[in-house]
Amino acid sequence: MDATLEDVQLSVERFLSEPFEEKVLERNIKTVFHYTTAEGLKGIIDSGSFFVSRSDFLNDYTEMQYCWDLLLHVIESLIKECTFNDKLEFYEKVKQEAKRYRVEVNEQEEIFVLSFTKNGDSLAMWSHYAGSDGYNIAIDLRTNIEEWKKLAGIHFRYGAVIYNKEKQQEILTEEINRSFLIWNNIENLGKKWDYLVVDALLYRIKIWTMFFKNSLFKEEQEVRVAFFRANYEQNIEKLIVIYHSMYPEHEIDEIRNKVANLFRASNEDETLIKQFRARNNIIYPFIKVGFDIRSLVGVRVGPINKLDKAVLGINMYLDSKGLRERKVDRSECPLRF
């Protein structure tokens, strides 16, 4: 019996819902650290939120392409080794769509990345993210995870970044093979619907993009939370184009107003609002996600900041916020300047 669209959609939904990355990513992490400046620390605690940058504005400008380049390398290897026409056809489709998808990765659903580390006293992290005289805050990640699960209109994935290239290639190969089984098991799928399976695979690759980094960065010991937010601006414009083809001209204004009202209603949740700020002569898009102040474990003062007032000021500040019992200490990194 021929597969129906419903059959294809059900298979794809099952594939997308499989928590494969949860089995692979290290997620049993309690305390993580966030390096920042004095202004950044105060802003996080005062506002009770993190400012989370869009993924293509991260410090390493190459990392958004790293996973996609690796995927294409894996596919090329699979193509060279392939002896079955059906698999070859699937690999070629994935290769073709991957080249397009990596360029449009933030178009339909934007990704915003919040970075932590497992290393609470790293020279490199102090230098890159806190100016060596800043601070890092230790937080209980699990407390915040439970709060973020309550967010409306946005979903997230989290875990420790994977730096081992062999492990990355194994994961990508496994994802490709699992999606091929779905593609191959739907009888008479035909070209009409097979893109759904490929799209599902590439969506999962988009998730891995947030957790694969070059091994050169392994000393960062990064832990990430990737927030996925529907790109309402892009989607609404496309909806309006579609409505033009579906409704008579005299109804378009009414439809446009309904879509705009829906957009405004969705944005009542602050986490859905994309905002902008200036930093280092660049305008950055970001979203706000809540920081549960109860999750604060402690604060560490950077290695260059030798002033007694630094520790005194932090203690007084935390006291004013009802956080007197939180640990405050200094970096033990041996910097003398």
pTM (predicted TM-score):
0.83
Quick one: tokens of 36? 């920042």
Residue boundaries of the structural domains of the chain: 5-230+274-330
- For 252-273, how does the pLDDT look when each residue is reduced to its tens digit (9 = 90+)? 566 556 555 554 444 445 556 7
Quick one: tokens of 17? 């819902």
> What phi and psi values does residue 231 have, to the nearest 5 degrees?
-80, 85
| DSSP string of 252-297, one letter each residue | HHHHHHHHHHHHHHHTTSGGG--EEEEETTEEEEEEEEE--GGGEE
64 pLDDT tier (thresholds 50, 70, 90): confident
Q: What is the pLDDT of residue 335?
A: 64
Instruction: From 232, 212, 197, 264, select the one nearest 107 (Cα to Cα).
Output: 232
Q: What is the pLDDT of residue 322?
A: 93
Do you know the residue count of the chain? 337
- For 120-142, how does the pLDDT look when each residue is reduced to its tens digit (9 = 90+)? 999 889 988 888 889 999 999 99
Percent over 90 (pLDDT), the chain: 43
Q: What is the pLDDT of residue 265?
A: 45
Burial of 243 (0-12, 13-18, 19+ CB in 10 A): middle
